[in-house]
Amino acid sequence: MQYGGKEFQVQRASFGNHYEVSFTTGGEIPKDLKGLFTSTGEAEARIETFVELNPKVTKNPKSIPAAHPVKASQKDK
């Protein structure tokens, strides 16, 4: 998935058993995606919700995992 021409990635945080969202080429991510996530699925769901709510984002269907649908409760946040 891309935002402003940059590709998102989910990676293990530098400490603990958590994950974080970043851009593959570096740079500051949107504030809605900052923080730590307990699973890659949780991080990917947050990215998907962000993409749905922000028209600046362009979807790349190859990078959207179908196994992690966004729950209705997450869309309202």
Average pLDDT, the chain: 77
Find all residues with CB under 8 Å of 65, minimum gap 6, and list them.
41, 44
Distances, alpha carbon 32 to alpha carbons 22, 25, 51, 62, in Å? 12, 19, 11, 23
DSSP state of 63: G
pLDDT at site 68? 46
pLDDT at site 36? 94
The pLDDT confidence band at residue 54, using thresholds 50, 70 and 90, is confident
**Contact indicator for 59, 51 with CB cutoff of 8 Å:** yes
Q: Give the pTM.
A: 0.66
The pLDDT confidence band at residue 2, using thresholds 50, 70 and 90, is confident
List of E strands, the chain: 2-3, 6-12, 19-23, 57-58
